[in-house]
Structure 1
Amino acid sequence: MSHPKRLKMMQQLMDKHQLKAIVLSSPTSQHYVSGYKAITYSRPLFYVHSQKESAFIVPGLEEEHARHVARVDRVIVYYEHPEQAHQGTNPVTSLLSYLQASVPVGKLGVEFNAVSIKVAKALIEAGWELVDVSDDLLGARVVKDAEELDLLRSAGKMVSLAVRASLEAVAPGVTELEIDQQGHRAALEEVSRLYPNTIAAVNAMTPSGVVRTVMPHVYSNTRRLEKGDILIHTHHVVLNGYIAECERTCFSREASDRQKEAFSVMLAAQQAAFDTIKAGVPMCDVDLAARAVIQKAGFGDYAIHRTGHSMGLDIHEPPFFRFDEKALLQEGMVFTVEPGFYVPGLGGFRHSDTVIITKDGYELVTNVASDLESMIL
């Protein structure tokens, strides 16, 4: 979606809720609307959209970044060093001062899922009536435009490269962190070659062994692989803010018969999900199709999460492939497909691939072998 279209979306939100202005606190929403995302740490930033103009309130160390990147009419700065303290040092005071000088008091759109209680309290005490626009903003991001889809396709190619490189490092004696590093290096070298002047990031985790793989989300550590270990390797690659995910369950040199059986069930569950996906299908049907395979094989009690989540500017975005999600799939949505189950004493089993929803099915944007033979390394 082009910047003018996103500004139009903000104006439509104001009209819908009869708002005087919208204040965005979420860095992701700020990025989506303005093209600017700061590394915030402890310093809050506020994006304000009104009938009159758009403005960013930023700390002094972000001033140059914001003026260079943010697509806004004004950048307002608060400082934390004495030389500029006379211009303001408090972000909430700066926000209130700007609103009181520029926007009539009335209904103010904020993100209830992001605004702090402290900021909300200050706005209410200043006379504003707060209206939640969280769901509206998330809803605007669900269907991706052509530019977003191209970025996600590129991220999909890079994350596939990262996973393939990491899997090549799997061997007894290698640490989980070393496996991650192999994929990081391959992806970042290729991103640097193919996409000059692009903001890129990588993230990975590789829990190994029957104990750690039944914990679906744990950081990699210095544990060294042993022959016969099971692993779940995850990689994310981010290109200009847009994220693709790929995960593979694999084995170091060998797998037990019971693990091979469970792996086959996981693979069949993912295929059942793939076979269900197309525009117009209720999202719950995708989850239920995968879950039926897992339940039939006797692993239902160990399938402890949904089958997938939307992807975009955040790793996990709504909506979800979940048993109670009745919304219909639409062309241009992007999801992970990752049914999994985690059996104590046996290990965890989960592949994940990123797909774009199409009229008649899906477009797979990740490309890594998934069969058992390829995953015994």
Structure 2
Amino acid sequence: MSLETTAPRPRIARLKAAMAEKGIDALVSFKPEHTFYMSGFNPVLYSHPVVMILPANGEPTLLVHALRDAHGRDEGFVEDTRAYGVWSTTKTMGPTWPEALQKILGEKGLENATIGLEADSTPIARWQQVQGLVPNARLQDSSKLIDRCRLVKDPDEIEMARVAADLADRGMDAAIAALAAGGTERDAHTASQLAMNNHWTKNLPDSIEVADFGGLEGGMVNGLATWVLSGERMFRNCDNSIARKPEQGETCAIFIWSVANGIHAENERTVGIGALPEKRRRALETVLSIREQIAPVMKPGTRLAELYEITKAGLVKAGYDANIPGRIGHTIGIGAHEHFSIDGKSDVILEPGILFTLEPNLRVPDQGVATQISDTILITEDGHEFLTKSRGGYIEV
């Protein structure tokens, strides 16, 4: 997936520095997002495990099934790519990944090492299996370590976030146009996905993939996703679009996740169908005003929690103190929803290269009031940049 397979990846240096700080001698990762993060290779379908071995000292090794060998070598940036299993004439290290992994760990002198595994995504059976391969090694949870390193994006990741955001903008424009023409939720949904896929098909090079990350029982060949919810259905937050035409005076939410070479962007808008009742218009205007208050502090050195505190204060001042959301956004990148939330408890300090979504929102079910407005934002050296740039503010069709 990488545009420049030989380009340096600062994330590898960040990982190694974090490993040294935690006393971890090597990372062994099976999580699709993380094997991609450390190798640049996404097989889309993970019916055979992909294993990434990153020692604190020395070169990384990518271990793939023989079926994925050529693919991994073509798309990944790890020079030492090995294969296991049986597939045609491909030379492998053995018939199974445990045998191959055991040999690699032995080669790297890690039999008695401290090895990091992601406890939040590694099944107990696999954890025990790895421990059995190196019984004298100490296995340690590396989940939070990798999540922290993912916070700051590398130049190649930022470049792909821009591509993903542009795709999302095109999808949003098409969805709003479909609603303006009197379309249903499904009409807007389909128009959005068609616009994104048409742009990818006709204007983006073959080096840009829109695949997402799959698992043992399926793959995600196309990760350009839209869903549209209108009226009371907005309170579901996520559901399949239906053949419902939004009624006059209702609000309609458009949710878009796009992806380019494994990096995601999010674009969400609330659209008023005709003139809105005062309570719905007021909710939207309140949220839009809060976003303007937040904008000046979206810069390096700001506590992520401060964005939430500004939102909470603004909602209380507007009389919505009973409707404070639990969070107003999240980090984004390899995951459409990465692990750090914009809430009152976050200890993250903004720095250049951090990507997040800004989505102060309101849900007042007994008034039929719901808002959903989100943009993908990059923290720069001296401030911030909105990567999603489609029509914002108060939208009425």
Scaled by the length of structure 2, what TM-score is found? 0.84
Residues 172 and 224 in structure 1, CA contact (< 8 A), matched pair in contact too: no
Structure 2: gaps of 5 or more residues: 211-222
CA distance in structure 2 between the partners assigned to 1:4 and 1:356 by the alignment: 19
Contact 1:159 1:366 in 2 (8 A): yes
For the 8 Å contact 1:202–1:238, the answer to whether it is kept is yes
How far apart, CA to CA, are the structure 1 residues paired with 2:278 and 2:249?
12
> Shift of the alpha carbon at 1:28?
1.5
SS of the equivalent of 2:340 reads strand
Matched to 1:349, the amino acid is: T
Return closer, same or farther for 1:83/1:232 CA change in 2, 3 Å cut-off: same
1:289-304 aligned at under 5 Å gives the runs 289-304=310-325
Count of matched residue pairs = 374
Counterpart in the other structure of 2:169:
160
Q: Which amino acid is the alignment partner of residue 199 of structure 1?
A: E
**Deviation of residue 221 (structure 1)?**
3.0
Distance 2:262 2:93 in 1: 32
CA offsets 1:260-295 (integer angstroms, 9 cap, x no match)? 111111211222222332211111111110121122
Question: Which consecutive residues of structure 1, in runs of 5 or more, have no partner in the other structure?
Answer: none
Instruction: Determine if the alignment matches structure 1 residue 269 to structure 2 residue 290.
Output: yes
Question: Is the alpha carbon distance of 1:5 and 1:278 closer, same or farther for their aligned partners in structure 2, counting shifts above 3 Å?
Answer: closer
C-alpha distance 173-91 of structure 1, shift in aligned 2 (>3 A): farther
| Aligned residue among 211, 236, 245 for 2:257 | 236
Instruction: After TM superposition, give the deviation of residue 52 of structure 1 in Å.
Output: 5.1
Comparing 149-158 and 12-21, the one that deviates more: 12-21
Give the direction of change, closer, same or farther, for the CA distance of 1:136–1:199 in structure 2 (3 Å limit): same
User: Helix, strand or coil for the counterpart of 1:213?
Assistant: helix
8 Å CA contact 1:266–1:350 kept in 2: the answer is: no
Q: Report the AA paired with residue 110 of structure 2.
A: P
The answer on 1:170 being equivalent to 2:179 is: yes
Q: Does 1:305 align with 2:326?
A: yes
Deviates more, 1:74-83 or 1:103-112: 74-83
What is the CA distance between 1:340 and its match in structure 2? 0.7
Q: Which residue of 2 aligns with 1:251?
A: 272
How far did 1:359 drift?
Answer: 4.6
Moved more, 93-102 or 312-321: 93-102
Contact 2:15 2:149 in 1 (8 A): no
Cα distance in 2, alignment partners of residues 140 and 65 from structure 1: 26
Q: Which amino acid aligns with 1:368?
A: S
- Alignment of 1:149 onto 2:155: no
Are 1:133 and 2:133 an aligned pair?
Answer: no
Residue 371 of structure 1 is matched in structure 2 by: 393
Residue among 179, 184, 190 paired with 1:181: 190
Code of the aligned partner of 1:366:
T
One of 338, 358, 362 as aligned partner of 1:341: 362
| 1:165-196 Cα deviation digits (max 9, x unpaired) | 11000058633222122122222222344421
Call closer, same or farther: CA 1:243–1:136 in 2, change over 3 Å.
same
* Secondary structure at the counterpart of residue 266 of structure 1: helix
Distance in 1 between the 2:252 and 2:104 partners? 53
Classify 1:36/1:207 alpha carbon distance in 2 versus 1 (closer, same or farther; 3 Å): same
CA shift in 2, pair 1:17/1:263, >3 Å: closer
Alignment of 1:196-235 (within 5 A): 196-197=205-206, 198-200=208-210, 201-210=223-232, 212-235=233-256
Partner of 1:75: 81
Distance 1:320 1:78, change over 3 A: same
Task: Identify which of 47, 57, 64 aligns with 1:58.
Answer: 64
> What is the TM-score with the length of structure 1 in the denominator?
0.88
Aligned residue number for residue 102 of structure 2: 96
1:217 and 1:292, CA in 2 relative to 1: closer, same or farther beyond 3 A? farther
For 1:282 and 1:101, the matched residues in 2 are separated by 44
- Matched letter for residue 274 of structure 1: A
Worse-superposed segment, 263-272 or 58-67: 58-67
Distance in 1 between residues matched to 2:164 and 2:70, nearest whole Å: 28
Question: 1:47 maps to which residue?
Answer: 52
Give the partner amino acid of 1:272: Q
**How much identity, in percent, do the aligned residues show?**
24
Distance 1:194 1:261, change over 3 A: same
Question: What is the RMSD computed on CA atoms of the aligned residues?
Answer: 2.8
Does the 8 A contact of 1:331 with 1:358 survive in 2? yes
TM-superposed CA distance for 1:358, in Å, is 3.2
Question: Is this contact kept in 2: 1:171–1:225, CA < 8 A?
Answer: no
Instruction: Give the secondary structure class of the aligned counterpart of 1:258.
Output: helix
Aligned-residue offset at 1:360:
4.3
Contact 2:230 2:252 in 1 (8 A): yes
Gap change, CA 1:214 and 1:68, over 3 Å in 2: same
